[in-house]
Amino acid sequence: MFPILPAGSSAVTNTALPAFVVAHDGLYLRKQSLLGLSQTKVDGAEHLPAETEFVEYALPKVPADLMARVVGFFRSVYRLHKTEALVLFTWRAEGFDLFVPDQQVSLASVKHRLDESALPSDLRVIGSIHSHGPFGAGASSIDAADEAEFDGIHVVVGNFDRRRQSYSAAIAVDGQRFDVRPNVVLERPRRLIEPPDDWLRRVKLLPPPRPSKATGKPTGSKGATASVPSVARNRAGNVDLDVALARADRLAGQLGYHLSYWLVPVSGPSRTGGGVDD
């Protein structure tokens, strides 16, 4: 068995070779051969068995009474503003609690800032839950990227234009995001609770985006110029499509048209963010 050494330690130069060196940017094989001393980056150790990434959730489920408060808050925000909203999951020794940060929201986004030094020392932020307004609960590509950088549980609640909401959930650890069934991490609320006014006052509408100066030849109706993003985002999900269609429908209405379309599935694997539970 080759020894495994931390990069920068004195053992790296004093240990018999070959050996593996674990560094910030990965795994290296260090060896002495007829050619001389070498150290090369490797994807793994060929003589060891393969492993898989996983997470085993150990905390209790978020209680139904807390979920009733959160989803009731999301419903009120949607009724008032037709937007998303966000709540942070916190943890004390005795269990889960909630924290509503100041936030700026729109139909398809929510922005917030949190100064954790302002929180009590015995309180830890261990996840997030946000709404998707009228769209489904599957995590968008932006959601997935944000969650991967935030260790904890992450829940999305969607379809607030319907009587019954949909849910998706994931657990993020060390930059890896694991989709899970929602009932692994939460209890469904039976009756929603109206939020306190203080929560609603923390929600502000994002200002509308400034119109950008379009360049290029007219491509749209009445000489309008259509701008196309130069770089397409990866890992697009159903929510990204919902948002794009909603924006296109609104734009068509402003131009005096009614937008109609057909979605035709194509063969091959498709990605939908989050473990969705309708």
Per cent of the chain over pLDDT 70 is 81
Same domain, 21 and 112: no
Q: Say whether pLDDT at 278 is over 80.
A: no
Q: Which of 142, 170, 205 is the last residue of a domain?
A: 205
Q: What is the C-alpha to C-alpha distance for residues 89 and 152, in angstroms, rounded to an integer?
A: 9
Q: Say whether pLDDT at 86 is over 80.
A: yes
> Is 216 within a domain?
no
Give the residue from 161, 177, 159, 180 showing the smallest Cα distance to 169. Answer: 180
- Under DSSP, the state recorded for 186 is B
> Is 241 within a domain?
no
pLDDT tens-place string over residues 92-139: 988 999 999 999 999 989 999 887 777 888 889 999 999 999 999 988
pLDDT tens-place string over residues 161-173: 999 999 999 999 9
pLDDT tens-place string over residues 225-272: 333 333 334 455 666 777 777 777 767 766 777 776 667 666 655 444
Instruction: Tell whether the torsion through CA atoms of 201, 158, 113 and 189 is positive or negative.
Output: positive
Q: What is the C-alpha to C-alpha distance for residues 83 and 30, in angstroms, rounded to an integer?
A: 55
Same domain, 32 and 74: no
- Owning domain of residue 18: 4-42
How many domains in the chain? 2
* 26 beta partners: 23
Per-residue pLDDT, 264: 64
Helix (H) or strand (E) holding 147: helix 141-148
133 CB neighbour count, 10 Å cutoff: 24
The answer to whether residues 30 and 11 touch, using CB atoms and an 8 Å cutoff, is no
